Amino acid sequence: MRFSYNFLQSFFRKKLPPPEELADKLMMHFFEVEEIEKLRGDTVIDIDVLPSRAADCFSHIGIAREISAITGMKYEKPQIRLKEGRREISDLINVTVKAACLRYTLRAVEGVKVKSSPPYIQKILKSCGIKPINNIVDITNYVMLETGQPLHAFDGEKIEGGKIVVRFAKKREKIVTLDEKRYELNDNIMVIADELSPLGIAGIKGGIVPEVDKSTNIVLLEAGNFDSKTIRKASQHLKLRTDASLRFEHGVPVEFTKEAVGRAVSLITSIAGGKALKGEVDYCQEKRKMKEVTFKAEEVRDILGVEISLKEIERILRSLEFKTKRNGNFFHIEVPYFRTDVSLKEDVIEEVGRIYGYANIKPVVPKAEITSQEESLSLKMESACRKLLCSIGFTETYNYSFINDKVASVFEYENLIEMEKPVSLEYKYLRPSLLPGLIDNIRKNEKNFEDIKIFEIGKVFSSLEDEKEKKKISGISSPADFYDLKGRINAFLEKILVPNVSYSPAPKDSFLDPYCSAEIFSGDDVIGVIGEIPPRVRKEMDIKKRTVFFEIDFAKIILLAKSVKTYDPISRFPFMTRDLAVLVPRKTTYKEVLREVKNAGGVLLRKTELFDVYEGESIPEGKKNFAFRLFFQAKNKTLSSEEANKLQEKIIKALDDKSEWKVRK
């Protein structure tokens, strides 16, 4: 919010520090100063007053009070001098309040001369970004800048029936505002009306009908206080934000109206002439209770971590207009009515801290016990996975957590979680898989890189109750080489101690190419998938090269991975090796054959190596040949040649027993 340096100076007899210095002080003790703008004859200090302090500091008096507390310079509020005539305001006007109006204060001045306002007022308005209109309107704005209370002035002779009603608008009721714009209202929007029609949109903007102009003789000055939520909604609905609505939205203390109207009347009679009518209309829904806070001096020390003298605490609180009583170390505080943000002792201690200055608090290393809490297993594992994937050639990417309609339909996603009013339709749904993001990475990088290997670890989402949010590890590799990727992933899974990893052809409804994709198992649990991106998806996602992908469920890994490796004693006795070749139908998997080999081989078959897979010439059509090397070893003796032969025979028999399988001899 823009504040005029000259206006601020007007509350002080002594000269304020220069704008830059003042801005620095405000920054360290109040709020951030966004900009200092030099104008001719004035300087604007743009202060980012946060919502907590809107009530008292969307005003120059509020800022002056802060300056006074920070610098110790005394500030003075302007004097109010009311010249009242004999005529009673009740003779002129009758006010009824029906709506969400907390307070409504009205005074009248008769015999005014409307002309332009004095230069000092115009200058201050301009500094604060408000256009000068005429002396009456300018004074209402000036008083708003001064006090934080929005005011409105009507021409007292343009009101029908001598009545003002504060009410909700009727459906479809219309109004033309001062800037000659037409608005259609509804029954959630408050208006200030006369007997017939709305005179203004309450708390937001005045209507054109009772406009103050050159011919105006009687001015009605209104200061209302309206429910902040109602004003916020009305302002949003009408797409009309004004200096007044901004203040009401944030809440203005109800106590402000009377003083603000008095101040405006006093300025009008001295600048535009005329006399105030006797008395005022002052509707007030209810008076707020004075807030009281008590605390001990030790509590200030415990929270801030610095010893501040009792005298200094008192000085600070008094400078901010808190009424302070002290009994030994006990403080009893009365919170000034304009400090709507203060209600707890912590709030009061913050006031002490910031005025005292956080810069004056010396760092103190905390006394804390040694905790033995360990980092979560999940995070440790995540970190280990990243390092490993990196070491096997994958680069980490971060993609958006969202997908759009097109992606949803290309991948035929179901059970998506949809966002309410995202800023862009690109963020319409939460991603149910890391795949779309990774595919998009391929698309972007294809033109610059021959060989792409990337991965992401991130959360994916589904509307299904028990799996709303899941962590996945996924990677993609282009150009496609299924066995290369499988080899890397297998090595990766072994390194992170996922036990008994195996692969089975993926079900036909897999989102990957059904002919070259597999489910990854650990024992009987499916932990992920690996396979090729179907050509249709590649085409629709605009990637040229064939690409392979994997996705692993992180929670499963956490569940299954062993935390400790147990040592397997190294046998002192040598291996006996035997080779074996078996012909099987083309679609019989290695996994099936291996299972048979292992079952028959028993514990003495220490390991197997597949050294050749062949189909083609010299082999019957529809068949393929697996060539294994078998390693036999015992833990307690050297196996004899006969023993090894016997074991081999046993395996051969087991394989030959399967229909359509044939061991080659």
Partner 1 sequence: MKEQDPKLIKKRFLKELKDVKTSEEKKKICKKYLEEDLSSVFSSFKNLPAAEKARVGRGANELKQLLLTKMEMVKETEKEETGWLDVTLPGKEPILGNIHPLTQMQKKCEDIFSKMGFVTIEGPELENEWYNFDALNVKEDHPAREMQDTLFVKQKGREGLTSKEKLLMRTQTSAVQVRYMEKNKPPLRVIVPGRVFRNEATDNSHEINFYQLEGLMVGEDVSVANFKAIIGSFFQNLFATDVEIRLRPSYFPFTEPSFEVDVSCSICKKKGCSACQRTGWIEVMGAGMVHPNVLQSAKIDTSKFTGFAFGGGVDRLAMIKHEINDIRLFYGGDLRFLKQF
Considering only residues 624 through 653, tell me which ones interact with partner 1, judged by CB under 8 A: none
How does DSSP assign 573-642, residue by residue?
SPPEEEEEEEEEETTS-HHHHHHHHHHHHGGGEEEEEEEEEE-STTS-TTEEEEEEEEEE--SSSPPPHH
- Tell the smallest beta-carbon distance from residue 628 to partner 1 (Å): 30
Alpha-carbon gap, residue 104 to 167, rounded angstroms: 12
414 lines the binding site for partner 1 (CB under 8 A): no
Amino acid at residue number 302:
D
Strands 517-522 and 501-505: antiparallel
Footprint of partner 1 on 442-471 (CB under 8 A) = 444-445, 448-449, 451-455, 458-459, 461, 468-469
Question: With respect to partner 1, which residue has the nearer C-beta, 370 or 570?
Answer: 370
User: Rounded to whole angstroms, how far apart are CA atoms 317 and 324?
Assistant: 7
Does position 427 interact with partner 1 (CB under 8 A)? The reply is yes
Is 545 a binding residue for partner 1 by CB under 8 A? The answer is no
Q: Which helix (H) or strand (E) holds 176?
A: strand 174-176
386 binds partner 1 (CB under 8 A): yes
Return the beta strands (E) in 299-351 as ranges: 323-327, 330-335
User: Which residues ranging from 221 to 260 are in contact with partner 1 (CB under 8 A)?
Assistant: 229, 249-250
- Residue 618 makes contact with partner 1 by CB under 8 A: no
391 or 599: CB nearest partner 1: 391
Nearest residue (CB) to partner 1, 337 versus 429: 429
Binders in 35-74 for partner 1, by CB under 8 A: 50-54
Question: How many binding residues for partner 1 (CB under 8 A)?
Answer: 91
Stretch that binds partner 1, among 73-81, 318-326, 342-350, 545-553 (CB under 8 A): 342-350
One of 202, 349, 473, 541 touching partner 1 (CB under 8 A): 349
Q: Which stretch binds partner 1 (CB under 8 A): 182-190, 240-248, 356-364, 548-556?
A: 356-364
Least distance CB 322 / partner 1 (angstroms): 16
For the record, the structure tokens of 222 come out as 């209104």
Q: Is 415 in the site for partner 1 (CB under 8 A)?
A: no
Of positions 441, 477, 625, 648, contacts partner 1 by CB under 8 A: 441
In the complex, least distance from residue 514 CB atom to partner 1, rounded to whole angstroms: 27
- How many angstroms separate the CA atoms of 454 and 396, rounded? 6
- Looking at the Cβ atoms of 375 and 568, the one nearer to partner 1 is 375
Six-digit token string for 269: 């009679």
Q: Does a cis peptide bond (omega within 30 degrees of 0) precede residue 479? A: yes
* Smallest distance, partner 1 to C-beta of residue 251, A: 9
Task: CB nearer to partner 1: give 157 or 321.
Answer: 321
Beta-bridge partner residues of 225: 103
Per-residue b or e along 207-239, where b marks 16 or more CB atoms closer than 10 Å to that residue's CB: bebbbbeeebebbbbbbbbbbbebbbebbeebe
What is the side-by-side strand order in the sheet with 330-335? 291-296, 330-335, 323-327
Scan residues 277-336 and list those touching partner 1 (CB under 8 A): 301-306
Which residues in 102-141 contact partner 1 (CB under 8 A)?
A: none
β-pair type (291-296, 101-110)? unpaired
Q: Does 19 bind partner 1 (CB under 8 A)?
A: no
Q: Measure the CA dihedral 187/190/196/197, to 10°.
A: -90
